[in-house]
Amino acid sequence: MNEVSILEKEVVQANPLIEARKHMNLSEMRLFLLGLPGLKPNISTDGNIHDVEFHDIWVSPSQLERLFSGKTASITNLKRHIKSAYNGFIELAFDGGGFGLRHIYAKMDYFPQKGLLIKFDDEMKPYILDILNQSYTRYALKHVFPLSSEYGWRIMELLLEYQGYLKKGKPFIYRKFTLSEIRFLLNVPEGLYEGRLDNFRVRVLDTPIREINEKTIYHVWYDAYKEGRKIAGFTFYMERKHDDDGAAVPPEEVAALDDVPTTDKRDILARLMNPDRWNITEKAALKLVQKYPLEYLDANIRYAYKYRDGKKNLGGWLMSCIERDEAGKERERQEVKKAEQEHEKEKARRRAEVRERVLNAVFDDDTEDAPPMSEEEPRGLAPLSDIEVRLLRRGGASSPHVMRRMEQLGLTLEDVKAGKRG
């Protein structure tokens, strides 16, 4: 195997093993993976020939020098890397809070003319060879070896565990972790960046992810999510920039109608790229989800869908709605209308309160109700109301307006007291 071919080789690991290796530094991870391409694990029932025992794996001196960026030119440095890897272990998590430690290597020998010999310890068989009934991850070494960040390497492997979903027509995969989970899985030292989330994001997430995006065929991004007002964790996303033939990954089939609320990034992207409605390109859709909040996009997609009738260019109509925030404008109009309605209700309530206070001030609690209206009421002006009758019966001089109304109807106080209303 030459230097190029070893990086083209795929490695297969049980997913629990990936997470159990979180204690490894960058050199230890590289040395570990160099021992895997020469092994054939049992991953299928189709009669494939697989290894049942570990055998010696050789990595040539030129491969070592190339893969470790020339730092192995010094025997002292190479010995330090190998000693660190050989003394390493994996930490297994058991049900009920238990854990276990396993030694990784049976031997690691270096010969200047032949290179490095790697042989795994038999305790590693369930995690490297016998993984038929386990979830596992397969990827080529070339996708991780360019990375110089331990955090970036671990992020890549955690996301690559889900890469099988990319082959099912989905534009990207995602994994959600609490803050404590991602600190644990990335092996962030206890106390480091505690209470300093901005530094954590820059050093542990942003810088490594930038390297992933620059040096691999994958594009990675993340969102923080909150519980209350506090950031509780992060959701990581990964898409393949292109397939091996350079073709764009096909979008996921739309699972929900455009008038159904959702803030799931997968659903938002799928709705934007829906070829039967909006037909936004994948590139444009990704820019939109990076530029605008998901709630903002969801609201404007639903607005565009609601008022889509008569629009010839639906994609252009949707983009216009998003850029102009038509959903936000409609929401503001509704809020103004609601405020006006509430204002009118309040005015009516206050008028009723004033009327009640007037009545309470004019009449005693034992005031009798006004007699019923006469059947022989004159036509024209509206007859006296109950309030007007009560005012007049209690002393009309206190209300000149009511007195004028009574006179216009051709009535006297005696008429009103007798039950006439006009």
Q: Write down the pLDDT at residue 278.
A: 78
**Higher model confidence: residue 158 or residue 2?**
158
pLDDT at residue 258, as a whole number: 44
Look at the block and give the residue holding tokens 């272990």. 89
Is residue 65 scored above 60 in pLDDT? yes
Q: Are 406 and 396 in contact (CB under 8 A)?
A: yes
Phi, psi values for residue 240, rounded to 5°: -85, 130
C-alpha 121/C-alpha 107 separation (Å) is 8
Res 393: pLDDT: 76
- pLDDT at residue 88 is higher than 70: yes
Measured CA to CA, the distance from residue 245 to residue 154 in angstroms comes to 27
The pLDDT of residue 390 is: 78
Q: State the pLDDT at residue 375.
A: 42
pLDDT band per the 50, 70, 90 thresholds, residue 108: very high
Residue 367 pLDDT > 50, yes or no? no
Alpha-carbon dihedral sign for residues 139, 144, 149, 155: negative
| Selected residue with higher pLDDT from 405 and 45 | 405
Q: Which residue has the higher pLDDT, 181 or 240?
A: 181
- Mean pLDDT score of the chain: 79
pLDDT in tens, 199-221: 898 889 999 999 999 888 888 98
Is the pLDDT higher at 375 or at 197? 197
Fold of 1-138: Arc Repressor Mutant, subunit A (1.10.10)
How far CA 310 is from CA of 12, 290, 306, 318, 322, in Å, comes to: 54, 30, 11, 13, 18
Residue 152 φ/ψ, nearest 5 degrees: -65, -40
Residue 213 or residue 66, greater confidence: 213
For 39, other C-beta atoms within 10 Å of its C-beta total: 16
Asked whether the beta carbons of 110 and 116 are under 8 A apart, the reply is yes
Distance CA 95, CA 72 (A): 41
Q: Where are the domains of the chain?
A: 1-138, 265-324, 367-422
Inform me whether the pLDDT recorded for 34 exceeds 50: yes
pTM: 0.54
Q: SS3 for 130? A: strand
Gap between the Cα atoms of 286 and 305, Å rounded:
20
115 sits in the region (left: phi over 0; alpha: psi -120 to 50; else beta) called left
pLDDT tens digit sequence for 271-323: 787 766 777 887 888 889 888 888 899 889 889 988 888 888 888 999 999 99
- Residue of 141, 171, 135 lying closest to 156 (CA atoms): 141
Does the pLDDT value for residue 398 go beyond 60?
no
Between β-strands 105-111 and 115-120, what pairing exists: parallel, antiparallel or unpaired? antiparallel
What's the mean pLDDT in 162-175?
Answer: 71
Per-residue pLDDT band at 166 (split at 50, 70, 90): low
Share of the chain above pLDDT 90, in %: 15
Q: State mean pLDDT over 24-38.
A: 87
Is the pLDDT at 77 greater than 90? The verdict is: no
> Is the pLDDT reported for residue 3 higher than 60?
no
Query: What confidence tier does 357 reach under pLDDT thresholds 50, 70, 90?
Result: low
At residue 269, the pLDDT reads: 79
Over residues 95-111, the mean pLDDT reads: 89
Residue of 358 and 328 predicted with greater confidence = 328
- Confidence check: pLDDT of 160 > 60: yes
Give the total residue count for the chain: 422
pLDDT at 127: 86
The number of CA neighbours under 13 Å toward the Cβ of 351 is 6
What local confidence, expressed as pLDDT, does residue 106 receive?
Answer: 94
Q: Band of the pLDDT at 370, cuts 50, 70, 90? A: very low
Cα separation, 163 vs 174, whole angstroms: 9
pLDDT band of residue 263 (cuts 50, 70, 90) is low
Write out the E strands in 131-181: 136-140, 173-178
pLDDT of 377 > 50? The answer is no
Q: Maximum Cα–Cα distance for the chain, whole Å?
A: 132
Q: In terms of Cα–Cα distance, which of 76, 101, 274, 45 is closest to 171?
A: 274
Q: How buried is 102 (Cβ within 10 angstroms: 0-12 exposed, 13-18 middle, 19+ buried)?
A: middle
From 140, 86, 146, 134, select the one nearest 110 (Cα to Cα).
86
pLDDT value at residue 247: 35
pLDDT at 273: 77
- DSSP β-bridge partners for residue 231: 226
Q: Which two tokens stand for residue 401?
A: 């307006």
Query: DSSP string covering 52-94, please?
Result: SS---EEE-HHHHHHHTTTGGGSHHHHHHHHHHHHT-EEEEE-
Question: Which range among 188-197, 207-216, 298-307, 357-366 shows the weakest confidence by mean pLDDT?
Answer: 357-366
Would you state the pLDDT for residue 14? 84
The mean pLDDT of 121-144, rounded to a whole number, is 86
* Residue 30 to residue 33: CA distance in whole angstroms: 5
In the predicted model, is pLDDT for residue 329 greater than 50?
yes
E strands, 94-185, where?
99-103, 105-111, 115-120, 136-140, 173-178
